[in-house]
Amino acid sequence: MKHRKFSDLGWNVSEIGLGCWAIGSEWGDVSDDDARKTLKTSLDEGINFFDTADVYGDGRSEKFVGELLKSTSEKIYVATKTGRRLDPHNAEGYNINRIEPFVDRSLLNLGLDIIDLMQLHCPPTETYSKEETYTMMDDLVKKGKIQYYGVSVETVKEALEAIKRPNVKSVQIIFNIFRQKPSEKFFIEAAKKNVAIIVRVPLASGLLTGKMNIQSKFPNNDHRNYNIQGKAFDVGETFAGVPYHKGIEAVEELKKIIPEGFTLADMSLKWILSHPEVTVVIPGAKNSNQAQLNTKASDKDTIENIMGQIKEVYNNIIMPEVHHRW
């Protein structure tokens, strides 16, 4: 497993981390045993960066990560998120009186005295331009509850607004073969400011594993069923916002250019890691086998020779569907 520097924090993080949404909720049923094995296997495979959130299973994911922390002496970096417990979820709710109790709850769930990285969890767009937002996070640092903070965004515009603030150390954003816009401007600006980039939804909710087809079905408690139109949260979080039939069409074209010794998932993760501005990519997993497979791309050879072909598939099939939206 290769490692990358995380902003200017002195952290050396595995370039592939684990996104812990699936072990919390909204990806079908995941047993407690599978959740624990997923985390343990990830650690054994060299992952030292775990991303979770207080709303993943209403704290279930955070508690499993907390168990992992107690079980090992290895250095683990934990990133969690806050804000989505607000009801209603609006910009006015992002103040110290509303957010601090959520942070306290995360500390309890994780069994920590201080959280390595706290991220604002896709707040309303206007939140990013309010000074109170960052004053609140600075206050949480001063109180010793969080060490550093960042943001998790839906759009490039939100990301560019957030990194105007000097204490924003990271931005989590959707970036994959089907969502290439962040690399055009945001990556350049983030690199200038030494802001870490955490890449989520790297496999487009499983589309880029190549294991799905047009007849694939998903359980009722899986967001790939109930959020296909964005009824529960931003549709970009489900299949990266790509219409399912278009995603399948693009996958069939991508399968034609997979290098020898790679799976489509390997190629998709390596494509992301081929961008040096990326700090860590956080695919999810529902069991230990998936967790193990996620890590293989780190040690694979470069795919520079097919980057142009991948871009062509994006331009021809996917770009008209998503590029203007996020």
Structural domain of 70: 3-322
**Residue 144: its pLDDT value, please?**
98
Residue 27 has pLDDT above 80, yes or no: no
**Residue 304 CB coordination number (10 Å):** 9
Q: Do 180 and 199 touch, CB atoms closer than 8 A?
A: no
Q: What is the pLDDT of residues 237-253, one digit of tens each?
A: 999 999 999 999 999 99
SS3 of residue 303 by DSSP: coil
**Residue 318: its pLDDT value, please?**
97
Q: Do 236 and 325 touch, CB atoms closer than 8 A?
A: yes
Q: State the angle between helix axes of 244-255 and 264-273 in degrees (0 to 180), rounded to the nearest 10.
A: 90
Question: What is the per-residue DSSP string for 198-239?
Answer: EEE-TTGGGGGGT---TT----TTBHHHHTTTSSSS-GGGSG
Q: What is the pLDDT of residues 89-134, one digit of tens each?
A: 999 999 999 999 999 999 999 999 999 999 999 999 999 999 999 9
Whole-Å CA distances, 57 to 23, 37, 47: 8, 17, 22
> What is the distance between the alpha carbons of residues 300 and 321, in angstroms, rounded to a whole number?
30
5 DSSP β-pair partners: 12
Give how many domains the chain has, as a whole number: 1
Structure tokens at 50: 């775990």
CATH number, position 81: 3.20.20.100
Q: What is the pLDDT of residues 201-234, one digit of tens each?
A: 999 999 999 999 988 989 989 999 898 888 889 8
Whole-Å CA distances, 233 to 56, 89, 154, 221, 315: 13, 11, 11, 14, 26
